[in-house]
Amino acid sequence: MSNHNLFVALRDAFPADLDATAVETVGGAQSGLRYSWRDLDRATAMVANLIDSLNLPPRSRIAVQVEKSVEALILYLATLRAGHVFLPLNTAYQAGEIEYFVGNAEPAMVVCSPANFGWVSKIAFQAGTRHVFTLGDDRTGSLLERAAHHSDVHTPATCAADELGVIIYTSGTTGRSKGAMLSHGNMLSNARVLRDYWGWKPDDVLIHALPIFHVHGLFVAIHGALINGSPMLWLNKFEPKAVLGLMSRATVFMGVPTLYTRLLAEPGLTREAVAGMRLFVSGSAPLLIETFQAWQERTGQTILERYGMSETIMLTSNPYGADPRHPGQTERRGGTVGFPLPGVQLRVVDDAGRPVETGEIGGIQVRGPNVFSGYWRMPEKTAEEFTSDGFFKTGDVGKVDGRGYVTIVGRSKDLIISGGYNVYPAEVESELNQMPGVAESAVVGVPHPDFGEVGVAVVIARPGTEPDPQALINALKARLANYKIPKRCFVVPELPRNTMGKVQKNLLRDQHKGLFA
């Protein structure tokens, strides 16, 4: 049997010269470090050997909440190498959120920032986790100390294509987050398709400035560079000036729309500054046509927008060059997310699940080798989200035009996408509703010039109380990740309702849409 371990495919793509630079760090306290391909191989072997030495049950979950660093990347690759399941967690998550993820996933091993060891280890040990390590973004922590005692040679675990490699938690429309289970085969097939579709070349250089606990930064960017043996210029945090300064040494950049609007605010963004760049990719949230056009005008380059999600990795992309399935259609069209990627079947259906006519709007459903197998320990939720013929219901609403381009026009799921992060109003409302003085709440998304969309909370007070909006926001901050916190909160006498008594969120959105204009 051949080994379908994703790590093996990535390792096989390393260039012949293992002493060449694979990752160079830029900015922050650890700026200017160079990691060769050999370093990546040896370091992942050491961490994988450490993991092996713990004798974890097969396919154990390894939950990781650490600041972005090259060592965090090494831990990800080492987890794959050792044949276990990587579970990345946003550093913004607060204790209550971590408690849920750890309780739900029951990881055998947890890795956290040294500063958080006290509270994270308490949660982990209570959930039955046996091993808790620390990893700082400055190469400190018990993980590396322990790994240093292990061999730098390691035989990668053998994995089948459908074997679980990563669990990514996505927030739930109702109730708690769900862990999307992605196999080695899901990730590898998508990485290979994107390598070919976007015309990656060995001499490409990627600017990596996204967080690595979600699909965009972890899969699209990292797998893209590694499966192609291309080096990365690595920023632990997005900083527009630093990114701009790197454009003369790089060829590929990936960002959520907020990164593009922040770069556009830099006077240094000119045609000359980006002349050597080959590809700008945007995704995770809708790219405004104004941003798309402003970028074209300022740089002479056209952003390539693509569409995906945690459950499916990448689904559609505007063309990079010629696409034999769409002869003559090489245009990257702003406002669209392009064509379904090779191997991805995409259909638009009406409420009854029947395919609609070309150009008609409906729910987007997808099927393909990249689509996940289901939600971790939630068979009912999984069954609800798949059709009987195996299509996944994305919850996105869109259309496909006569030329084959897909446009996302909205979402059937009640979701706010803020700076590329997903915020489920139901989760924020549920926290608000538990606060003293709050009878009921509604959270809606409104346009925001920097984050694209942000949450606004509208609260009804319990009789006889007068909750302070700012105090409610402050209390939320202790319970939820920072990007989920509504940017404004209003206490009102009543919420607009339809005849069924349901809150009319569209009216609230309309009422508050000018708040940040």
378 binds, among ligand MLC, ligand AMP, none (CB under 5 to 8 A by kind): none
Q: Which is nearer to ligand MLC, 127 or 210 (CB)?
A: 210
Choose one: 55-63, 304-312, 373-381, 392-400; the region binding ligand MLC (CB under 6 A): 304-312
Q: Which of residues 197-256 bind ligand MLC (CB under 6 A)?
A: 210-211, 214-217, 237-238, 256
Q: Which of residues 455-514 bind ligand MLC (CB under 6 A)?
A: 482-483
**What residues pair up with 386 in beta bridges, in sequence order?**
392
Range list of H helices, 201-284? 215, 224-226, 240-246, 257-264
129 binds, among ligand AMP, ligand MLC, none (CB under 5 to 8 A by kind): none
Q: How far is the CB of 215 from ligand MLC (least distance, A)?
A: 4
- The angle at the Cα of 500, spanning 494 to 505, to the nearest 5 degrees, equals 50
141 binds, among ligand AMP, ligand MLC, none (CB under 5 to 8 A by kind): none
φ, ψ at 141 (rounded to 5°): 115, 160
Nearest to 80 by CA among 162, 10, 153: 10
Choose one: 196-204, 308-316, 346-354, 498-506; the region binding ligand MLC (CB under 6 A): 308-316
Q: Which is nearer to ligand AMP, 47 or 337 (CB)?
A: 337
Choose one: 45-53, 133-141, 307-315, 383-391; the region binding ligand MLC (CB under 6 A): 307-315
Binding flag, residue 307, ligand AMP (CB under 6 A): yes
Task: Decide if 240 contacts 266 (C-beta within 8 A).
Answer: yes
Burial pattern 426-445, b for ≥16 Cβ within 10 A else e, equals bbbbebbeebebbeebbbbb
Q: Which is nearer to ligand AMP, 210 or 408 (CB)?
A: 408
Q: How many CB atoms sit inside 10 A of residue 185's CB?
A: 19
Choose one: 132-140, 259-267, 300-308, 494-502; the region binding ligand AMP (CB under 6 A): 300-308
Q: Which is nearer to ligand AMP, 261 or 284 (CB)?
A: 284
Q: Which is nearer to ligand AMP, 163 or 396 (CB)?
A: 396
Q: Which is nearer to ligand MLC, 14 or 483 (CB)?
A: 483
Q: Which of residues 419-458 bind ligand MLC (CB under 6 A)?
A: 419-421, 451, 454
For the sheet with 85-88, list strands across it.
131-134, 109-112, 61-65, 85-88, 164-170, 178-183, 374-375
Q: Which of residues 196-255 bind ligand AMP (CB under 6 A)?
A: 214-215
Q: Which is nearer to ligand MLC, 145 or 468 (CB)?
A: 468
- For residue 355, the 8-state DSSP code is B
Task: Decide if 292 contacts 305 (C-beta within 8 A).
Answer: yes
Choose one: 40-48, 56-64, 282-290, 427-435; the region binding ligand AMP (CB under 6 A): 282-290
432 binds, among ligand MLC, ligand AMP, none (CB under 5 to 8 A by kind): none
Q: How far is the CB of 172 from ligand MLC (least distance, A)?
A: 15
Choose one: 18-26, 36-44, 122-130, 304-312; the region binding ligand AMP (CB under 6 A): 304-312
Binding flag, residue 194, ligand AMP (CB under 6 A): no
Residues contacting 161, CB < 8 A, separation 6+: 4, 183, 184, 185, 188
Nearest to 246 by CA among 263, 227, 221: 263
> In the set 77, 247, 254, 309, which binds ligand AMP (CB under 6 A)?
309
Q: Which of residues 329-348 bind ligand AMP (CB under 6 A)?
A: 337
Residue where the block lists tokens 């669209």: 336
Task: Decide if 87 contacts 61 (C-beta within 8 A).
Answer: yes
Contact characters 395-434, ligand AMP, x per CB under 6 A = -x-----------x--x-----x----x------------
Binding flag, residue 163, ligand AMP (CB under 6 A): no
Task: Decide if 50 contacts 147 (C-beta within 8 A).
Answer: yes
Q: How far is the CB of 306 from ligand MLC (least distance, A)?
A: 7
Distance of alpha carbon 393 from alpha carbon 415, whole angstroms: 15
Binding flag, residue 283, ligand MLC (CB under 6 A): yes
> In the set 5, 90, 228, 394, which binds ligand AMP (CB under 6 A)?
394
DSSP codes of every residue in 291-332: HHHHHHHHHS---EEEEEETTTEEEEE--SS--TTSTT----
N- to C-terminal Cα separation, the chain: 58
Residue where the block lists tokens 């999984």: 382
Q: Which of residues 24-53 bind ligand MLC (CB under 6 A)?
A: none
CA separation, residue 198 to residues 204, 212, 280, 360, 421 (Å): 11, 21, 10, 28, 24
Q: How many CB atoms sit inside 10 A of residue 134's CB?
A: 21
> In the set 310, 318, 370, 407, which binds ligand AMP (CB under 6 A)?
310
Is residue 179 within a helix (H) or strand (E), and if so which, with residue range? strand 178-183
Contact characters 309-328, ligand MLC, x per CB under 6 A = xx------------------
253 binds, among ligand AMP, ligand MLC, none (CB under 5 to 8 A by kind): none
Residue 321 burial by CB count (10 A; 0-12/13-18/19+): exposed, middle or buried?
Answer: exposed
Residue 103 burial by CB count (10 A; 0-12/13-18/19+): exposed, middle or buried?
Answer: middle
The residues that touch ligand MLC, with contacts defined as CB under 6 A, are 210-211, 214-217, 237-238, 256, 258, 283-284, 308-310, 418-421, 451, 454, 482-483
The residues that touch ligand AMP, with contacts defined as CB under 6 A, are 170, 214-215, 283-286, 305, 307-310, 337, 394, 396, 408, 411, 417, 422
